[in-house]
Amino acid sequence: MSKVGWLYSRYNIGVEWWDLHEIIRKLLLCGVLLCFPNPTLQLPIAIILCIFSLVNLNMHRPHKSKIVFKVAELASCAITVKYVGGLQLRAMINAPKDLREIVGWWLIAVDIFVFLFAIVASIMLVWKLLQQAKKSGDMDDNLEESMTKIVPSSRVQTKNMKDEAKSDKGIPDLRTWDA
């Protein structure tokens, strides 16, 4: 377990299976939907899978980082909106071309918004990581300043130790390591 434990460190306790959930979701959305030849049937199944995935994401909240969770939540919502938009475009087959283009531009805008949000979230994560590194670096400096230097007792003898060694004639002083 120690060889693969780093895979689960980013998840909350009890939801270590989330990677498996994501792999199955992607397999169903990319592979299994191809088994249905009719796109009119593919889109509602994809929407149901996306809603199920979004409910699981919000119910289990697998990510420790709130920023990563928000990006995952936004991406899941965007995928669901994309499939709903695809279903809408499929239903608007006899609608004017201008109206279908508007729906297409909205779907592109959703992708651009998710992309920009992911970039901002990445910058926030890097900033947070740098702040933590700076904070731990400050703590290391404070530890070095407050630590006591340990010196072997054979090199340093206090006045009391010398006096005790003189008073105990014949008894070796074990504190000086000379015994």
* The pLDDT value given to residue 61: 94
What tokens appear for 69 in the block? 């969770």
Q: What is the pLDDT of residues 83-133, one digit of tens each?
A: 999 899 888 888 898 998 999 999 999 999 999 999 999 999 999 999 988
148 belongs to a structural domain: no
Which residue range forms the structural domain that includes residue 82?
5-136
Q: Is the CB of residue 140 less than 8 Å from the CB of residue 111?
A: no
For the record, the structure tokens of 174 come out as: 């074990």
Do the domain assignments include residue 86? Answer: yes
Q: Which two tokens stand for residue 34?
A: 């191809």
Q: Specify the pLDDT at position 13.
A: 87
Residue with tokens 């920023």: 67
Q: Show the low-confidence residues of the chain (pLDDT under 50).
A: 179
Q: What was the pLDDT predicted at 137?
A: 74
Alpha helices (runs of H) in the chain, residue ranges in sequence order: 18-30, 39-60, 66-91, 97-146, 159-167
Distance CA 108, CA 74 (A): 15
Quote the pTM value.
0.67
Would you say residue 147 lies in a domain?
no
Please tell me the distance from the alpha carbon of residue 127 to that of residue 37, in angstroms, as a whole number: 47
11: part of which helix (H) or strand (E)? none
pLDDT at 34: 87
Q: What is the number of structural domains in the chain?
A: 1
- Is 162 a member of any domain? no
In a domain, 36, yes or no: yes
Residue 153: inside a domain: no
C-alpha 29/C-alpha 132 separation (Å) is 38
Q: Is residue 129 part of a domain?
A: yes
- Is 159 among the domain residues? no
